[in-house]
A and B are shown apart, each in its own frame.
Chain A
Amino acid sequence: MSGYVTALIAIVTREALRFFHQRERFVAALVRPLVWLLVFAAGFRAALGLSIIPPYQTYITYETYIVPGLCGMILLFNGMQSSLSLIYDREMGSMKLLLTSPLPRWWLLMCKLLGATAISILQVYAFLAIAAAFGIVMPAMGYVAVLPALVVAGLMLGSLGLLLSSFIKQLENFAGVMNFVIFPMFFLSSALYPLWKMAESSELLHDICAVNPFTHAVELIRFALYLQLNGPALGWTVLAAGLFTTAALWGYSPEGTGIRRKG
């Protein structure tokens, strides 16, 4: 078993080193949600009236509403960033080292996933700290209670990135991910507006939002920040994580397609 742990520590450490070597990535990961929080939300505050919906027990500002969605945004972008880094690894050849290790391939890919999730969560906490500095605070224990929700949501979005990386042929094709995965997932979710608002505009869009796993990841985080468990959101997020992970592991198996893109 120690061999498994040794590999886990090495892979997570390498992911962390790579992240800290790229300081601009850290800054970009924080600036993006902060622009939404401090600029977009300020502009929308007046336009978008919010009723009291769970888990909130009183009227909240729009900035407070979108904080969980922006936490999800960080996890989503990082999930896709880790996908990009996997494609880079494949093009540079270092993926071959990982896949020819005698340790089980599923474990090595899970280590990659755990490493990427850990880095995403660090960024979420940095974002929450900055948001708190601007007066957008959550219940104190919410910052602790949200950790398991961030882990589950981060693993789900990371496994989606892993799955995408097994199907994307080249680094250049990654731009399509922005258009066809990140933007639809983010905008067709409850990150920026509650689903009942979406239902007022279009039942179809509401239904799409309701099946979007990102919506459930955001709601899981939102409820956890207020010390509540959203069971259905947890169930949907875990289910999506399981499906994405299974498909990704198949994609990276010798019988799958992932590594064959760059033989």
Chain B
Amino acid sequence: MNGIRVAGLTYRYGAKTALDDVSFSVAQGEFCALLGPNGAGKSTLFNLLTRLFVAPGGQIEIAGHDLNTAPRAALAKLGIVFQQPTLDLDLTVRQNLTYFAALHGLSGRDRVRRIDTVLDRLDIADRAKEKARTLNGGHRRRTEIARALLHDPAVLLLDEPTVGLDAAARAAITDHVHGLASDGTTVLWATHLADEVRPDDRLVVLHQAKVLADGRARDVSGDRPLQQAFLDLTAEPA
């Protein structure tokens, strides 16, 4: 199992429980949607998966590396697209990618080759010299996804990556990331929008700090539309 494994994860902000004994795993090359309403605990889970926070209990493995005992090996396998935009708007697209590559220790020709590859892959090569400030929301997100792929991560985490995008940009990014999973990258896609989840996707529903459902999206939704199934699930007390 070389994707993501989360076991018995609990996290509290003072008296408030943000995650309560959360466990799930995602196989290599699987697209897993983490669906939950606002405040379900998705962002806390992402902060723990990226080691911005550490949980007092539970275990996280990224591509086979324990995040607590081998954080550097785990982080090296992880590509992250944060919900909050993290581009330096005063730098060009290429400069943003170059800076990030350097934070991963990449340099020289290898770095240039990788940057050219991800720019082509995300179809933004023609924007490479533009300042991030001049890009529209969709292209900024593409740049962030390109950046997250620079070091060939085995696992890609995206925290509500389509927030603020129009329908066309949302569809394009959702399609592209599904394609990445088909190519072997493990994807964990946090969202509160059921229409971004496909019937064959793996689905974990998070609500009020707990995992409410875990399985194929078509199995979780049954004969109802996923949106309805999600509303029914999260309407019930956890």
Chain A residues close to B by CB (< 8 Å):
2-4, 6-7, 9-11, 14, 17-18, 21, 92-94, 96-104, 108, 254-255, 259-260, 263
Contact = CB atoms under 8 A, between A and B. Distances in A.
B85 A93 contact: yes
Interface in B65-115: 72-73, 75-76, 78, 80, 82, 84-88, 90-91, 98-100, 102-107
14 contacts: A6-B105, A6-B106, A18-B90, A92-B84, A93-B82, A94-B86, A96-B80, A102-B72, A103-B72, A103-B103, A103-B104, A103-B105, A255-B54, A263-B47
A263 B53 contact: yes
B178 to A, nearest CB: 24
B82 A96 contact: yes
Contacts of B103: 7, 10-11, 97-98, 101, 103, 108
Nearest to B56: A255
A254 B107 contact: no
Contacts, number: 84
B112 to A, nearest CB: 13
Most buried by B among A9, A96, A98, A104: A96
Main secondary structure of the interface of A (DSSP, over half): helix
B53 A3 contact: no
B76 A14 contact: no
B89 to A, nearest CB: 9
B72 A10 contact: no
Contacts of A263: 43-44, 47, 52-53
B72 A100 contact: no
A104 B51 CA distance: 12
A100 B75 contact: yes
B80 to A, nearest CB: 6
Given A17-B91, A18-B90, A263-B43, A97 B100 contact: yes
B59 interface: no
Contacts of B82: 93, 96
A100 B107 contact: no
Given A2-B105, A2-B107, A96-B52, A101 B86 contact: no
B90 A259 contact: no
A21 B90 contact: yes
Q: Which 8 A-B pairs have the closest CB atoms?
A: A3-B105, A10-B102, A93-B84, A102-B76, A101-B103, A93-B86, A254-B54, A102-B75
Given A254-B51, A254-B54, A6 B102 contact: yes
Contacts of B10: none
Main secondary structure of the interface of B (DSSP, over half): loop
Contacts of A9: 102
A94 B104 contact: no
Contacts of B105: 2-4, 6-7, 102-103
B162 interface: no
Interface in B31-76: 43-44, 47, 50-54, 72-73, 75-76
A98 B100 CA distance: 8
Given A3-B107, A7-B105, 20 more contacts: A2-B107, A3-B104, A4-B105, A10-B103, A96-B84, A98-B103, A99-B52, A100-B50, A100-B51, A100-B52, A102-B72, A102-B75, A102-B104, A103-B72, A103-B104, A254-B52, A255-B54, A263-B44, A263-B52, A263-B53
Given A101-B75, A263-B52, A7 B102 contact: yes
B86 A254 contact: no
Contact of A14 (B52, B53, B75, B99): B99
Nearest to B85: A93
B104 A101 contact: yes
Contacts of B87: 94
A104 B72 CA distance: 7
Nearest to B51: A254
A2 B104 CA distance: 11
Contacts of A96: 50, 52, 80, 82, 84, 86
Contacts of A93: 82, 84-86
Given A4-B105, A263-B43, A10 B50 contact: no
B43 A10 contact: no
Contact of B78 (A6, A11, A100, A255): A100
Contacts of A14: 88, 91, 99
Contacts of B76: 102
A255 B55 CA distance: 9
